Amino acid sequence: MRTLRNLLRNPSGAIGVVLTGLLLLAFLLSFLWTPYGVEDVDPAASWAPPSTQHLLGADNLGRDVFSMMLVGSRVTLEISVGAALIALVLGLLLASAIVYTRRPWSVLFERLTDVGVAFPILIVALIIVTAFGGSTASSMVAIGLGSTPSMARVVLPELRRATKADYVLLAAASGASRPWILWRHIFPDLTPTLIVAVTQIMGTAALAEAGLSYLGLGTPPPTPSWGRMLSAFQQYIYTRPQVIFVPGLAIVAVIIGFNLLGDGLRDVLDPRSKK
C-alpha cells in the first residue's frame, strides 16, 4: 500500500495508473457487458453519431464502435501481458546464461543479445507471424521473442551486480546450487528492475500488436482489434474523420499509460533514479 501511495503521488505514476486502469476496466467490462455483439450489423444505424444507443457511434455497417472497442481491449491487454511475461522468462534465462556460462559461450550469447537489440521488435514479430500465420497466440509469442533481447540487456548489469553481493557469495560458499541461488536470492533482488522493464515492454507490445493488426497479420476476424479497426477506418478519414480517432487515441493512451507507469515505478522503487 505504501508503494501504491507513493506511486499515486508521482505525476507520471498517477497518470500511468489511470490510463492502464481504464484499459483493465474495459477488459473486465467486456466479459460482463457489451451493448451489442461485435458481429451485429444494422444498416439502418450506419455511421450513427454518438448517442445513448451507440455511445461512440456506429461504423459503416452499423456495428457499435463502443462494443468493438471493449472487446478489442482483450486483445491489447492479453498480448501485452503475455508477450511481457514471455520476454521476462526468456530474458532472465538468457541473462543468466551470459553470466554463468564460460567463454566462449558467454561471449557468443552476449553478442547475439546485442544483435537482437539492434532489430526493431515489430520487424522480428513480422518475420515470425508471417512464417507461422497471424493469430493472437502467434502475435503474443512473436512479440515476446522480439522483446527478449531488450529484457536480457536491461537485466544483465543488475544480475552481474547481484552475483557479486556478499549474501550471494556466502550462499555459494555454503554449497547452494546456482538455480537455488538465482531463485531464492538473486531474482528477488531484481524485482524492482523487472517490474519496470515489464511495464515498458507491455507498452512496446501494445504498439507492436496494433502494428501487426493494422497490417492484417494480428488477431483474425471476427474478433475486433484496435489496429485492424484503425486500418478499416482510415479510408474514411476525409468523410468520417471522427471514427479514426477512437481506436487511434485508445492505442496512444495505452502506450503512454504503460510507459508512464514504468517511469513512475522506477522513481518509486529505485530512489537512485531521481539523482
Q: Which of 176 and 91 is assigned the larger pLDDT?
A: 91
Q: Is the pLDDT of residue 244 over 70?
A: yes
For residue 169, the model assigns a pLDDT of 82
Task: Tell me the pLDDT band of 131, cut-offs 50, 70 and 90.
Answer: confident
> Among 120, 200, 119, 189, which Cα is nearest to 157's?
189
Task: Tell me the pLDDT band of 226, cut-offs 50, 70 and 90.
Answer: very high
Average pLDDT over residues 149-163: 89
- List of residues 6+ apart from 40 with CB closer than 8 A: 63, 64, 67
Average pLDDT over residues 185-189: 82
For residue 10, the model assigns a pLDDT of 87
Q: Is the pLDDT of residue 270 over 70?
A: no
Which grid coordinates are listed for 12? 507520471
Which region holds residue 101: left if phi is over 0, alpha if psi is between -120 and 50, else beta?
Answer: beta
Task: Tell me the pLDDT band of 165, cut-offs 50, 70 and 90.
Answer: confident
Burial 95-112 (b: 16+ CB within 10 A, else e): bbbbbeeeeeeeeebbee
Distance CA 20, CA 10 (A): 15
Burial 49-78 (b: 16+ CB within 10 A, else e): eeeeebebbbbeebbbbbbbbbbbbbbbbb
Average pLDDT of the chain, as a whole number: 89
For residue 273, the model assigns a pLDDT of 52
Listed by start position, the domains of the chain span 76-160+198-274
Q: Which residues pair with 58 in a beta bridge?
A: 64
pLDDT > 70 fraction of the chain, expressed in percent and rounded: 97
200 Cα distance to chain centroid = 7
The answer as to CATH 1.10.3720.10 being correct for domain 76-160+198-274 is yes
| Prediction pTM value | 0.90
Could you give phi then psi for residue 58, rounded to 5 degrees? -130, 160
**Do you know the residue count of the chain?**
275
For residue 275, the model assigns a pLDDT of 45
Distance CA 53, CA 34 (A): 12
Q: Which of 257 and 120 is assigned the larger pLDDT?
A: 257
